[in-house]
Amino acid sequence: MQKLIVTADDYGMCEAVDKAIDAGIENGFITTTNVMLNMETLHNAKTLRERYPHISIGVHWNVTTGKPVSKPSDIPSLVDENGVFWSVPVFKKKYSKGLIVPSELERELDAQYEMFEKTCGKADYWNTHENSSLHIKAFKVFEKVAKKHEIKATRNFERVYYDKIGLGFKRELREFLVKYFFMFWFKKIRHSFIMPSARVISFDKLIKTEGHVLLDALKKNGRDYIEVVFHPATVADYCFFGNISTKRVKEYEFVSSKSVYDEYVSNGFEFVNYGDIS
C-alpha cells in the first residue's frame, strides 16, 4: 500500500480549528497535527496524546501571527509598537535587512517550545506557521533550536503538484527554479532531520478537496510518505484565518468524511504518521 501522511496545521488556534482537526483524526484521515502556543485554545492540546495516542504531535512555531509568548520588551525586533508579531512578508524582509535579531528569535522559539513540552511532552516534529522558516538565514535559527531540543523530524518542501496547469511562462520558470532550489536545500539537511519524501503544493488552480485531483496526483507520483497539509475549521469566520477561510470549511468536510477515507483506502493508501517514516 502507498503510505500517506496527512497533517492538520494550527491546533490551538481556536475552537473551530480544534474541533475540525479532532473530527479528521477520529475519521482516521488526519495522522499528525501541530500545536500553536500563542493562541486562545492551547488548553485543548493538553489531552491530545491521551485522546489520540496513534498520531504524531508537533510544535508549530509561530512568529508571524498574534502576540509572542515572551515579553515584547525581550524580543523587540520581532514585534511592532503594539507588541504584535510582524506579518510573514515583513518578517522575511526585515530578516534579509538584518533587522531581526537572531538571538531574539531563538529566545521566542525556546519559550514556545518550553510551553509545548509542558502541554504535550516532547515534540515528534517541528514546522512553522506561514512557512516563516523558509528564509535561509532564519532557517538556521529554527534548525539550531530544534536540534537543541532534540526534535528529530521536520517538514519537507520538495514538491508534488496536483494543479500545475496554465501558469504562464514566467510562473513556470519561477516554479522550475523554486522546485530545484528546495530539492537541493532539503537534501542538504536530511542528515539533520527525518522528513517526509515531499509535500503536496497548490497554485489554487484547482481545489484539492474537490473531485479526484489530489488522489490522482498522489497515485501518479507513487512515492511513500508524501505529506498532504490541511487547515480545517468548522466555521469560516475568524480573525486569523486570512485568505483561506472558506477553504478551511471545505477541508473540514473533506477530512472528516468517511466516504473520502474509504475511497483512499480502497485505492491502496495507508495512513501513517511521522513516527512511521523509515
Helices 136-148 and 102-120, packing angle to 10 deg: 40
Per residue in 21-69, pLDDT tens? 999 999 999 999 999 999 999 999 999 999 999 999 999 999 999 999 9
| Average pLDDT, integer, range 241-257 | 91
- What domains does the chain contain, in order, with CATH numbers? 2-276 (3.20.20.370)
Ordered DSSP codes for 216-277: HHHHHH--SSEEEEE---S-S--TT-GGGHHHHHHHHHHHT-HHHHHHHHHTTEEEE-GGG-
Residue type at position 136: I
Cα–Cα distance between 64 and 83 in angstroms, integer?
Answer: 12
Q: Would you say 63 and 78 are in contact if contact means Cβ atoms under 8 Å apart?
A: yes
Per residue in 154-164, pLDDT tens? 999 999 998 88
Closest CA to 144 of 111, 105, 175: 105
> Quick count: other Cβ atoms within 10 Å of Cβ 158?
20
pLDDT bucket at 187, cuts 50 / 70 / 90: confident
Per-residue pLDDT, 242:
79
Show the cell assigned to 21: 482537526
Show the cell assigned to 112: 514556545
Distances 149 to 26, 94, 113, 245, 277 between C-alpha atoms, Å: 30, 26, 8, 33, 20
How would you class 238 by CB atoms within 10 Å of its CB: exposed for 0-12, middle for 13-18, buried for 19 or more?
middle
Per residue in 107-161, pLDDT tens? 999 999 999 999 999 999 999 999 999 999 999 999 999 999 999 999 999 999 9
